[in-house]
Structure formats: C-alpha cells, structure tokens
Amino acid sequence: MEIDHQDFMDQISDLPDHILHHIISFLSRRCAARTCILSKHWNYIWNSYPILEFPQYSIYPWRCYSSPEIRRGKFRDFIKIVDSSIKRFTPFKLRVERFYLEAGLDHDDDSMLPTMVDRWIEFAMKNGVREIGLLFDTRVTESRFYVLPETTFVTSSSSYVKYCATFHSLRKLTLARVHMSEKMMKDITRNCPEIHSLILLRCVGLKNLEISKVEKLEVVEVTPSGGIRELERVDIDAPKLRRFTFSTGFESDLPCSISLSPSHNLKVLALSECEIADDFFQMRNNLITFPLLEMLRISRCQMLRRIRMSAPRLRWFSLFACENIELIEMDAPTLSDFRLYVYRLPVLLLKNVPCRLKISYVFHSTIPADASWFLELRTFVGTLTQSTTLELKFYEDVEVSFDLQELQGAAIPPPLGVEHLILDLGLPIRTISKDQLATLIDGLLWSCHPKTISYDSCSCSKMQIMELLLEKLFNKENPECCNTFHIKCWCHYLKSAQILDSGGTKYEKLKDLEHFLDELLSPTKGFGSLHEKLLMFELEWDFGWW
C-alpha cells in the first residue's frame, strides 16, 4: 500500500497571516513563542503577532522572587523580554491591536521602568494601538505609582496629521496604579474620539473626573486608590454609555459626588461608597432617566435616603449597607432578582415586581429588641406583597424582651407571613442564654409567621436553636398562654409543623425529642454531624383566630 505523502503536508502554514495570528491567540504566551521554531514563516507570524501582552507575574510567578538578588535579576529579564519583543515587531510597521503591561513597582532598581514604559507607550501609539492596558502592582508599598507623561495624548500642530490617525484608533484604555492629571484626562477625551472603554483602577492625581461629550464611550469603570482619598467629583456626559461602575473599596468621611447625565443606553450601573442625591433615579422632564437599565447595584451610599424610580427593563437590583435608606419606591415589571442588605427596615412600595424578595436585616445592638421592635417587624412584613426570604442577622450581643401585654392599645396588623425565614446568629452572640434565645424565637414567629425556617449560626448556637424550635413547634397542643388576652401569640395560629433535612427526609411526629436528637447526631445512623446537617422547619398556619 502506497502512502500518499500529500496527506502529511502542512496546510495550516498556508493559511492567511491574520488567521494564524488568531490561532496563536488561543495559546499561552509560552506555547505561542515556541511556534517560532517551526519554520521561518511561523517565526514571522510570532514576531508580527499584533497582541503584545506582558504580565510580569505570569511570566515570572511571585514564587520565583525568593531573594532580592533573584528579584532584581528576574525584573531585568522581564524588561528585556518586553523590549526585545517590541524591537522584533517594529520593522513590520503593523498596527498594534493590544498592548498590555503588568509590572511591579517594588523592585530596588525599578527606576529604569518609567523611562522604558514611556518609550513602549510611544511605540504603541505610533503603531495605531486599539487597546492599551497599563497595570502596575505594589506588593510591598502602596506609595508608588507610574506617572503617565503629560504629552502622551497631546499632539503639536506640526505632528497633528501624523498622529491624528493613531489617536483615532484607540478603543480601550485601562490604567491601574497610574498617576495622571485632570489635563491629561481632557486630552484623552478630546484627542481619542473613538474610545469606547475607559477603566481607571486605583489611580491618583485626579480631584475631579470630568468626561464630556465623548460620543462613542460605552464603558466607564472607576476605582479610586484606597490609600489616597483625593477624588471628589465624577461628572459624566456620554450619550452612548452602557456601563458605569464606581467603587472605592473603602468607606470615606468625604464620599465622592457622582453626576451622571440621563442616558438612553445605560444598562449596568454600580455605585459604591459615593454621594448620590435622592433624585438621582427620578424622572426628569417626564422622561425616565435610564429607560434601558437592566442591572443596578448600590453599596454603602450613606447620603441616599429615598429611591424612586421607574425601570421598565430592570432585571437585577441590589442595595447593600446604605444605612440611612428610608424608602424604596419602584416600578419594575421585568425584575427577576431583588436583594436588600439593610440596618433599618425601609418602606417598600413595589409596583409590578414579579420576583421573590431577598432581604437581609442586620440587627444593631443600639436598637432594643423589645415588643415594640417585634411590632415594627410585623408591620414591615405586612407591607410585603411579594414572596419574601427574610434573613435576620444578629452579630452583636442583644438583650431580648417580648411581652405582648406591652402592646395593649397598639394597632396590631393582621398576621401575614414571609416565605422563608433565615436566622443567623454571629459569633459574638453565641453566649446568649437559652431563655433569651427562646424569647427571640417567640418574637420572630409572632412577627414573621414564616412558611419555612432555617438557621445559619456558629456551631455552639445551632444545637440550642434546634432544640428550642423542636420544643416550641412540636410541644404546643391547645395553647392556653394568652386565651384571656386579645393579642394572641403565634401558637394559636400554628396548624402543623414538620422537619425537612438535606436528604429530603421529612419528620412530622416527634414523640421523643431526645431520641430524635441522638439519632440526628449519630454517625452510625447515617445522619452525620450537626455541623453538616441542614434542617428546615416547614410550618402551616391557620389565621382563622384573627
């Protein structure tokens, strides 16, 4: 049998250069570099590859820097790799699609780096780079930044024609731990009209960030430096903006003020640790401010008290730790995920909201957990028209009292309930007495009337919670505790209860609670330890007494 040698011909190498470039884009840098030894043509393909990425700690992982001498040597080797790659690419006079540099600033001899980076950026700009990413890392000190030259995005009249095309080619700019000025930001927005993504991570030098009339800008992400709190104001006017995120990563006494012009294209908005006014989301001139908004995340914006918004396409809403929030009024017919993490119970006026609510309430020790507080919780639950998962978090020691007689004369709302109640007792509360814990459970059952209960607590509290729930839910036959009082406790409305474990087994009648607990904790019975056992209590209520 003759072998057709044409079956073994290299047909991949005959593909067009841009397809070969695309093929090696799926390889790691190390594997892609090895292709240069296959043939002269593959050597050309590698040297002319227009995506120039140089992540220092991927080329030389952090574990390689075991001593200062080795660290300096690896750092010099890294600079040589970048410089030689650029020198090999330069003669081809091709467009640079992407220039990405990730380098450390903690080296003893990193004084040579800024000069080299300046030159590399100039090379990329002259070659019509579409995307620039400059990320500088400091593993030892937070005080070092790369200073971006003022002239990077400036053209003189004599060189305008030569560099105009290169500025117009820039589509995406990412800077991390870079020192830049407000003038430089104006130069970027003025001289790079095609830019559609601007990402600033832990940069310094900006007191005011103003982006105005950049017609094609679609993405802006800003994360100020955690150690230097100098950014005071962000003002953005970009008609095609689709995504804006702002997060400092720290709480500041002087939060940054955010001004965002109405955008008919904005789909994702994430704001954290900043100052926004109550009218930020309100309609302006009878027009919805962000009609296409799909995702809204607000975190630690302590100036915010009221949210009033109409969001016809909103799908995901999250509000986290905004301590002064009082009111959320929302019309969101397409919402599929609604999450609150609050320190006080706000008024919720939700119209056309079809999804289940997930509300996490963190109890603060400055608020007395007495009958008035449980009444407030019951009133809040009564306003919820959507199916709700309510998670109550107790992270501080708390004194609990619950006496229904204290509520004589008070307006008691009807006994409505939540879908699921999660009781989370943090570590500081693990020393709570059994009587206090029993009182807490009584108050929560009276306030929330949950269909299901679960708990997420430290191991030493789990046993107490489970024992008390078992005693209260399965030992209450014909309660007579408050027959002579017009305000009834939760026992009068409980019709039945059962336990559902993580394996799907249901327990409806428990004649011997101690025997059940012994089996639950016995590894020989196949239940495993209580630490791994997930129990849910399913309750059925009958409000015919009301």
Compute the distance between CA of residue 288 and CA of residue 277 in angstroms, rounded to an integer: 16
Residue 75: predicted pLDDT: 83
Residue 361 shares a structural domain with residue 481: yes
Nearest to 421 by CA among 378, 388, 395: 388
Domain stops at, among 302, 330, 355: 355
Domain total of the chain = 2
Question: What is each CA distance from 310 to 117, 268, 301, 388, in whole angstroms?
Answer: 47, 15, 20, 21
Instruction: Give me the count of residues in the chain.
Output: 546
Pairing of strands 494-501, 535-541: antiparallel
Domain match, 301 and 415 both: no
Q: Are residues 316 and 396 in the same domain?
A: no
Same domain assignment for residues 230 and 320: yes
Quote the tokens at residue 321: 């730790």
Going residue by residue through the chain (546 aa), what tens digit of pLDDT does each one get? 455 555 556 778 888 888 888 888 888 877 888 888 788 888 888 888 899 999 888 877 766 666 777 777 888 888 999 999 999 999 998 999 999 999 887 655 567 788 899 999 989 988 999 999 999 876 555 567 888 887 778 754 434 434 444 577 899 999 998 998 899 999 898 888 899 999 999 898 899 999 998 899 999 999 987 655 688 999 999 999 999 999 876 656 668 899 988 888 999 999 999 988 888 887 666 667 789 999 999 999 999 999 999 999 999 999 999 999 999 999 999 999 999 999 999 999 999 999 999 999 998 877 888 999 999 999 999 999 999 999 999 877 778 899 888 898 889 999 899 999 999 887 555 567 888 889 999 999 999 999 999 987 655 567 778 888 888 888 766 555 666 567 788 988 899 888 887 767 777 665 555 666 666 666 555 444 544 556 789 999 998 766
Q: What angle do CA 113, 119, 124 make, to 5 degrees?
A: 120
Residue 102 in domain = no
Alpha carbon distance 222, 269 (integer Å): 12
Residue where a domain terminates, one of 306, 337, 355: 355
327 and 397 part of one domain: no
CB 53 within 8 A of CB 30: no
Q: Which two tokens stand for residue 457?
A: 């607590």
233 and 317 in a single domain? The answer is yes
Cβ density class 480-511: b for 16+ within 10 Å, e for less = eeeeeeeebbbbbbbeebbbbeeeeeebeebe
Contact 381, 362 (CB under 8 A): no
Residue from 228, 189, 181 nearest 208 by CA: 181
Closest to 178 in 3D by CA, of 197, 201, 199, 198? 201
What pLDDT score was predicted for residue 533?
Answer: 57
Structural domain includes residue 525:
yes
Whether the model clears a pTM of 0.95, i.e. scores above it, the answer is no
Looking at 355, 371, 391, the residue that finishes a domain is 355
Q: Determine the 3-state secondary structure of 350 from DSSP.
A: strand
Q: Is residue 230 part of a domain?
A: yes
Q: Range of 413's domain?
A: 356-546
Question: Within this chain, do residues 266 and 376 fall inside the same structural domain, yes or no?
Answer: no
Asked whether 248 and 223 are in contact (CB, 8 A), the reply is yes
Which of 344, 407, 334, 351 is closest to 380 using CA atoms?
344
Token output for 183: 């003038």
Residues 281 and 402 in one domain: no
List the one residue out of 84, 88, 120 whose CA is nearest residue 102: 120
SS3 content of the chain, % helix, strand, coil (to 5): 30, 25, 40
Do both 270 and 283 map to the same domain? Answer: yes
pLDDT number for residue 6: 54
| Same structural domain, 246 and 387 | no
Whether residues 258 and 374 fall in one domain: no
Same domain, 345 and 370: no
